[in-house]
């Protein structure tokens, strides 16, 4: 019975991520048609819509979690799927930018289903096996991000609105599947009253600030995560402007990036980190990220991007779990959830600022206002921020070397 419920909830997560991957390579192009081919204006709009989505996720994910503690996981997951289906179908049908913005806001609100799905897995999994179950959620994320852009690229080549319709229908089908096949996981005796304070996204950040020992690591994490957002946010815009890539080329390249991520976090980190340790993995990952960012901005031909991509497996893909691992060692067992909530909050904040900053930099340097065209400017700024994170990590490492218990 547990295995069946595990498969069902993982299917829910996968289809959710597949829907996101379907539309991601297409949304910039759809916006470009809405502003009559103005790439600079489209990049700004893409950043604004990305920020709207991230703000909604930041605000509502803790709320969904608190509501699921009171009313159960199943109704919140089903509500999220129904809302996501509506948001994608709105995007497929509308030609109005305001309706499109509302649809992205709704999609962000309903993105809280990921946190609820994680809580569902915790309900049905023994404590000693939860790490493996959460790893499966990460695998579903990666798999959805590989297959989604590929399918989105194919459908977008037929019609730009077709991937949005497909994502909406997938979420609707997922809702029906969950309605009939997904049982409740939270027993009535384990539910608790809804308290608004528990749904505050800033609460975990305030509490975790008591642990001064992880302040440097959290700063490094935030800087590097923000820098890493550059490639996520401007990839489709950059490759279209620089190399003339269409939806198919963008979808394939994003699928390859997804493969690198899955290979890096699912396999390479398990091989590398036990051999060199978390501290060296952080330094290596940040140094490689500097080089990879510069290379993305400097290449002359589209095929050269594929030569750079494999090196990303040794970049932030490796450093990120190493940083998180060390932070988890710095707090007591009873505050692990508090720490992960704080980390999730900071990640969401970079998702809010990242689209605005990175598309703003790209949009300016491809516009007529720029003193000279520099499409790779965002990647170069990203490299500088990675370098700053590396500098902080080197200083932290020197202090940690004198205190072996920290690492």
* Tens of pLDDT, residues 382-404: 999 999 999 999 998 888 776 65
Quick one: pLDDT at residue 372?
A: 92
When mean pLDDT is compared across 63-72, 298-307, 367-376, the lowest value belongs to 63-72
Window from 45-54, 120-129, 131-140, 233-242 with minimum mean pLDDT? 131-140
Under the banding of pLDDT at 50, 70 and 90, the label for residue 138 is low
Q: Do 126 and 236 reside in the same domain of the chain?
A: no
**Domain-ending residue, one of 154, 170, 201:** 201
Return the CATH number at 352.
1.20.1250.20
Question: Same domain, yes or no, for 177 and 229?
Answer: no
Q: Give pLDDT, residue 19.
A: 66
In this structure, are 265 and 339 located in the same domain? yes
Which residue, among 108, 46, 65, 117, has the nearest Cα to 358 in the 3D structure? Answer: 46
Residues 217 and 175 in one domain: no
Q: What are 84-131's pLDDT values in tens digits?
A: 889 889 988 877 778 877 888 888 888 756 667 767 776 777 755 554
pLDDT in tens, 344-359: 667 778 877 888 899 8
Domain presence at residue 55: yes
Q: How many domains does the chain have?
A: 2
Residue 188 lies in a domain: no
Q: Across residues 245-262, what is the average pLDDT? A: 81
Residue 381 and residue 237 share a domain: yes
In this prediction, residues 219-240 reach a mean pLDDT of 91
Judge if 309 and 166 occupy the same domain: no
Residue 386 placed within a domain: yes
Inside any domain, residue 109: yes
Give the model confidence (pLDDT) of 149-184 as tens digits: 777 777 777 877 788 888 888 888 888 888 887 777
Instruction: Please indicate, yes or no, if residue 85 is contained in any of the structural domains.
Output: yes
Residue 190 lies inside a defined structural domain of this protein: no
* 24 and 169 both lie in a single domain: yes
Instruction: Verify that 213 and 72 share a domain, yes or no.
Output: no
In a domain, 187, yes or no: no
Tell me: pLDDT of 307 over 90: yes
- Among the three residues 170, 201, 232, which one is the final residue of a domain in this structure? 201
What's residue 323's pLDDT?
Answer: 84
Give the structural domain span for 309.
204-407
- Indicate whether 273 pLDDT > 70: yes
The pLDDT, as a whole number, for residue 340 is 57
Query: Which tokens hold the place of 65?
Result: 């979690």
Which of these three, 171, 201, 231, is where a domain ends?
A: 201
Statement: the pTM of the whole predicted model exceeds 0.85: no
* Statement to judge: residues 122 and 224 lie in one domain: no
Same domain, 171 and 213: no
Residue 192, domain member (yes or no): no
Measured distance CA(217)–CA(202) in Å, rounded: 19
154 and 6 belong to one structural domain: yes
Confidence of residue 337 (pLDDT cuts 50, 70, 90): very low
Q: Please, which pLDDT band fits residue 261 given cuts at 50, 70 and 90?
A: confident
Please tell me whether residues 155 and 240 are part of one structural domain: no
pLDDT for res 107 = 82
């Amino acid at each position: 019975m547990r295995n069946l419920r595990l498969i069902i909830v993982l299917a829910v997560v996968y289809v959710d991520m597949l829907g996101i991957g379907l539309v991601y390579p297409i949304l910039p192009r759809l916006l470009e048609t809405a502003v009559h081919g103005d790439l600079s204006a489209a990049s700004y709009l893409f950043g604004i819509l990305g920020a709207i989505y991230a703000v909604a996720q930041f605000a509502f994910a803790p709320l969904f979690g608190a509501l699921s503690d009171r009313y159960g996981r199943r109704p919140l997951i089903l509500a999220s799927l129904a809302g996501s289906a509506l948001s994608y179908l709105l995007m497929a049908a509308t030609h109005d930018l305001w309706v499109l913005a509302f649809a992205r806001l709704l999609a962000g609100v309903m993105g809280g289903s990921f946190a609820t799905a994680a809580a569902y897995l915790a309900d049905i999994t023994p404590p000693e096996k939860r790490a493996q179950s959460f790893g499966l959620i990460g695998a579903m994320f990666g798999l959805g991000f590989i297959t989604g852009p590929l399918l989105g690229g194919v459908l977008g080549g037929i019609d730009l609105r077709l991937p949005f319709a497909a994502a909406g229908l997938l979420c609707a089908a997922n809702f029906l599947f969950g309605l009939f096949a997904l049982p409740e996981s939270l027993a009535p005796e384990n539910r608790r009253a809804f308290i608004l304070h528990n749904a505050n996204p800033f609460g975990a950040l305030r509490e975790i600030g008591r642990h001064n020992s992880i302040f440097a690591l959290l700063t490094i994490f935030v800087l590097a995560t923000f820098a890493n957002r550059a490639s996520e946010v401007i990839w489709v815009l950059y490759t279209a402007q620089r190399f003339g890539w269409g939806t198919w080329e963008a979808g394939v390249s994003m699928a390859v990036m997804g493969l690198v991520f899955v290979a890096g976090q699912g396999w390479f980190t398990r091989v590398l980190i036990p051999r060199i340790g978390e501290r060296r993995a952080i330094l290596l990952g940040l140094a490689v990220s500097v080089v990879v960012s510069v290379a993305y901005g400097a290449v002359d031909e589209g095929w050269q991007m594929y030569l750079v991509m494999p090196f990303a497996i040794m970049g932030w893909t490796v450093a990120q779990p190493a940083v998180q691992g060390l932070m988890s060692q710095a707090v007591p067992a009873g505050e692990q959830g508090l720490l992960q909530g704080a980390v999730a909050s900071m990640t969401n904040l970079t998702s809010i600022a990242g689209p605005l900053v990175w598309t703003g930099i790209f949009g300016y340097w491809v516009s007529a206002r720029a003193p000279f065209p520099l499409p790779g400017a965002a990647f170069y700024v990203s490299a500088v921020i990675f370098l700053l994170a590396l500098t902080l990590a080197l200083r932290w490492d020197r202090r940690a070397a004198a205190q072996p218990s920290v690492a």
